[in-house]
Structure 1
Amino acid sequence: MSNLTFDEGNERVNVRCAGIIRHENHLLVVREDDDDFVCLPGGRVQRGESSLDAIHREMDEELNAQIETPQLRYMLENFFWRYGKRFHEFAFYYEVAKPLHVPFQPGVCITGEDDGKVLSFEWVHTAPDALAEINLHPFSMRTRVAELPQGFVHECVVDPDY
């Protein structure tokens, strides 16, 4: 299958899902080896795949984790610039329980690989100043991960430099 990503000139439409994995006032984030930012674990939804199926597949691929009952908390339409492209991203953020085999420790707790890139996972504190220090993308998640809504929230978020 192919990803739900469509490019036209310097514009990209992207459909993504990610897991919000919290434990003891910390959040699991991932950094690709060549990025200067971190994001929540996950990836692109593929053609013919639901976001729910995608979060299960992505957690298996990235964390070798079979997750149970992920809860959709946010569907964000994000508008931002990255890699010289103007993004319009549809992102599904699921609350996911901490996988038992992912250690809760300082620094990089687990590594993996995705499309030839090294992935480093680490726990960061959910305090706003801590999230700002680690450069969490998209920026809109910095204020949304510490306290999750009880239900589902849909929002449109436009980065200031879009």
Structure 2
Amino acid sequence: MDISFKTAEGRFNYRVGGLIVHDNKLLIMQDQGQPYYYVPGGRIKMNEKSEDAVKREIKEELGVEVTVKRMLWVNENFFKEETLNEQFHEICFFYLLELEDEKLLKNNEFVVDEEGKIHTYFWKTLNELKLINLYPQFLREKIVELPLHIKHIVVT
């Protein structure tokens, strides 16, 4: 069971995000019909370690294995989702990942159908990230200098 629930005040999510960086480019994704981009990842399941969750999510979404290098950020994020018009309270652990297979490096853009959900993936240069609607927004600036130790970021 995913650790996500809805209340009268909004929705809570406990999730992971995976940063895959190659040749000064970050792998990001966009859901069909959505105006924003984000990094691959997803919700953590009950009794699942966050590190296991990020590996599972990448395998489910992209069909590849990854190695977790280290956790970068713990992000407490409070936001209103644009298309759902729903208030969110989200805790996300962001991990730096390394691909175990180079098949994702062949195209700068590719589409994946995940059980009827259409995701388009893009390799964007770190400079390009500053110009697009990437969430959470702190990634646009923080991606250029990855922390050596876990940082806690709160976005309200």
Same fold (TM over 0.5): yes
Code of the residue aligned with 1:88 in structure 2: it is H
Distance 2:9 2:112 in 1: 30
Identity of aligned residues (%): 30
TM-superposition CA deviations, 1:97-148 (whole Å, max 9, x none): 1441112543x1x322334211111111111xx2243210111221121210
1:95 corresponding residue in structure 2: 96
Distance 2:9 2:85 in 1: 7
Q: 1:1-162 counterparts in 2 under 5 A? A: 2-82=1-81, 83-98=84-99, 99-106=101-108, 108=109, 110-127=110-127, 130-158=128-156
Distance 1:8 1:34 in 2: 26
Distance 1:71 1:139 in 2: 21
Code of the residue aligned with 1:11 in structure 2: it is G
Structure 1: runs of 5 or more not aligned? none
Distance 1:34 1:4 in 2: 25
Code of the residue aligned with 2:23 in structure 1: it is E
Distance change (3 Å), C-alpha of 1:89 and 1:115: farther
Structure 2: runs of 5 or more not aligned? none
3-state SS, counterpart of residue 45 of structure 2? coil
TM-score between the two structures when normalised by the length of structure 1: 0.87
The answer on whether the counterparts of 1:10 and 1:84 sit within 8 Å (CA) in structure 2 is no
Distance 2:28 2:138 in 1: 15
The answer on whether the counterparts of 1:6 and 1:12 sit within 8 Å (CA) in structure 2 is yes
Distance 1:37 1:45 in 2: 22
Distance 1:71 1:104 in 2: 25
Give the aligned CA root-mean-square deviation in angstroms. Answer: 1.5
Code of the residue aligned with 2:124 in structure 1: it is V
Distance 2:5 2:115 in 1: 18
